[in-house]
Amino acid sequence: MVKGNILAAVLLVTSIFFVVSFSGLIQKNGGDQTKQEQGSVAVAVEPERTLEVHSGDGKAKLIGIRKQLADATINYAYKVVDEGADSPRALFSKTLAVGGTIEVPVNSWSPDNKQLFVQENYNGITNYLVYKADGSKYKNGDDYLDVLSFWAKSKYQYNIKTVTGWAGNDLLELLTIKEDGTNGPSFWFVTSSRNFLQLRQI
């Protein structure tokens, strides 16, 4: 009788220990799973975005695709579609670090549809890049014209405020500001010669 009571007590203690241990295992696994789920939310990828900018005569359009990558950088890919063309033509693709953006103004296209410009923003600096719409290189071998780089080589002491659009097939108009923040003169950036022409004030 005594042996039977001892055996029953041992079985009871063993059962309690097994239940407690199994419960702790469930809680531990559940906690890890929650942490993984929270981690996956922290690196969620933004949905892909697409935009279209048509030329003035509607005979061509620029299609841009913005896609966030796994490392949180942003890839911008652009292609050109001509009226009546069977397929789009790749123009360029560029990946920027967090905080950088590429924008396409509504007046991006030149009047003859042979060039277009985009606006790149990064680290508080705004730049303007000019591309040939057919995807070919410029005479100096560059894929695009970097407006700020050419401006830095010029004799002018103003800062570029913004590019307003095209004044001709190879004339990109820009506004400037002085060091004191007041408006400076306007200029044309001549894409064919890479020179700047200051416009006379009337």
Q: What is the pLDDT of residues 104-163, one digit of tens each?
A: 999 999 999 999 999 999 999 999 999 999 999 999 899 999 999 999 999 999 999 999
Closest CA to 127 of 163, 180, 91: 163
Q: What is the pTM (predicted TM-score) of this model?
A: 0.76
Alpha-carbon distance 102 to 119, whole Å? 6
Q: What is the pLDDT of residues 180-194, one digit of tens each?
A: 999 999 999 999 999
With helix as H, strand as E and coil as C, how does 123-176 read?
Answer: CCEEEEEEEECCCCCCCCCCCEEEHHHHHHCCCCCCEEEEEEEEEECCEEEEEE
Alpha-carbon distance 118 to 123, whole Å? 17
Across the beta sheet with 144-146, the strand order is 101-103, 115-122, 125-132, 144-146
Q: Decide if 80 contacts 60 (C-beta within 8 A).
A: yes
**40 has a pLDDT exceeding 70:** no
